[in-house]
Amino acid sequence: MQKITAAITAVGGYVPDYILTNQELETIVDTTDEWITSRTGIKERHILKGEGLGSSDMAVEAIRELLKKRPDVKPEDIDLVICATTTPDFQFPATSNVISDKAGLVNAFGYDINAACSGFLFALTTGAQFIANGTYKKVIVVGVDKMSSILNYQDRTTCIIFGDGGGAVLLEPDTEGYGILDSVLKSDGAGRAHLHQKAGGSVKPASLETVMNKEHYVYQEGQTVFKFAVKNMADVAAQIMERNKLVADDIQWLVPHQANLRIIAATYERMGLPIEKVMVNIQKYGNTTNGTLPLCLWDYEKQLKKGDNIVLAAFGGGFTWGATYIKWAYDGAKYSLK
Ligand code: UT7
């Protein structure tokens, strides 16, 4: 029997119109463009404004774009939607259900995955299993976050880092060896102490007190997270290369989580890759958590060629981290609308 792999066959993305620049942040908190640029690489980020808009609304825009690229695929053909998000529309139901409803994916079932910044990789790997085992033919994996909904714009250590946005990919079966070929995924729950949201869950439900104490915002011990991110993202990227007998020359692209330019540098240097092979868009979007990896694929789609060896790598709250090896399935220039 022919081996089935799950190939990414289309990409869509979305960032909201409003651009929050470092210069505007200088007027909100005690910071400078120079500090933000030199410590993180970020120049601006997009923010979703407007009453009643959430992560699902950005995901729907990304999916609409994806389907526009593939007019042969109808919304009713989609079997499953997996949404990776840390900022769901609601505590329940799952954001994937809201997305399917708004995008007219009437035959799709769905669920969310929460693995913080590694969520897209975890969701991609999970979605790929349904294709590889022959259960489904069309799976959409979304990575999206409205980080502005959980940021304290009085805390200069966190509000400068994150932005809103996300992307979606379509997974379909392939029998020629293209698609998602391997993943190394890791978690260490002890890391939760250093990056989390203190209230709003079952341990500490929302109350007047938790709101007054600003406990619904991102809490991050930046330096500690930085140290773990640098080591673990580079380790796992090296591990997936070794396991698949890949050397630097075999790899066309590294797609790293966009948390900090210095963490990205540690990863590509460890892999022995030149910067030209690294997707970087942190300067314009900041850290969109689950959105970073699909937004990279979206931005660079035009440059991707059938047969390219691509390594995706991520690190995030939990802690969670991982790397995925993909053999790209199509010439991106053919579909890219950008
Ligand atoms: O995606 C999920 C995973 N998250 C990450 O990977 C984030 C990892 N961490 C980081 O990227 C970095 O730690 C940060 C960008 C968050 C911070 O950079 P840093 O180089 O680790 O700075 P720091 O926390 O060590 O702070 C250095 C100084 C401090 O001042 P003192 O104590 O030296 O006087 C901070 O108070 O910079 C100060 N500082 C700022 N100054 C201007 C902190 N934030 C700012 C700011 N503007 N926005």
Catalytic residue among 232, 260, 281, 287, which? 287
What CATH number does the domain located at 181-329 have?
3.40.47.10
Give CA–CA dist 322/299, Å, rounded: 22
- For residue 243 the two structure tokens come to 């396991």
Task: Indicate the DSSP class of residue 250.
Answer: G
Atom of ligand 1 nearest to the CA of 116: 2
Tell me the CA–centroid distance for residue 287 and ligand 1, in Å.
14
Q: Is 216 a catalytic residue?
A: no
Residues 70, 336: contact at Cβ < 8 Å? Answer: no
Tell me the CA–centroid distance for residue 42 and ligand 1, in Å.
13
Tell me the CA–centroid distance for residue 136 and ligand 1, in Å.
44
Tell me the CA–centroid distance for residue 209 and ligand 1, in Å.
28
CATH class entry, domain 5-177: alpha beta
pLDDT at 20: 98
pLDDT at 334: 85
Catalytic residue among 117, 194, 290, 296, which? 117
* pTM for this model (two decimals): 0.97
pLDDT at 49: 98
Catalytic residue among 46, 83, 159, 257, which? 257
CB burial readout 297-312, b (16+ within 10 A) else e:
bbbbbeebeeebbbbb
Pocket of ligand 1, beta carbon within 6 A: 31, 35, 39-40, 117, 156-157, 160-161, 222-223, 225-226, 229, 259-260, 263, 287, 316
Q: Is 287 a catalytic residue?
A: yes
- For residue 305 the two structure tokens come to 């060629």
Residue in the structure block whose two tokens are 């990575």: 143
Domain boundaries in the chain? 5-177, 181-329
User: 284 Cβ partners below 8 Å, 6+ apart?
Assistant: 43, 44, 45
pLDDT at 338: 61
Q: Do domains 5-177 and 181-329 have the same CATH topology?
A: yes
pLDDT at 336: 61
pLDDT at 335: 77
* 264 exposure class (CB count in 10 Å sphere: 0-12, 13-18, 19+): buried
Q: Is 117 a catalytic residue?
A: yes
Give pLDDT < 70 ranges for the chain.
Answer: 1, 336-338
pLDDT at 191: 97
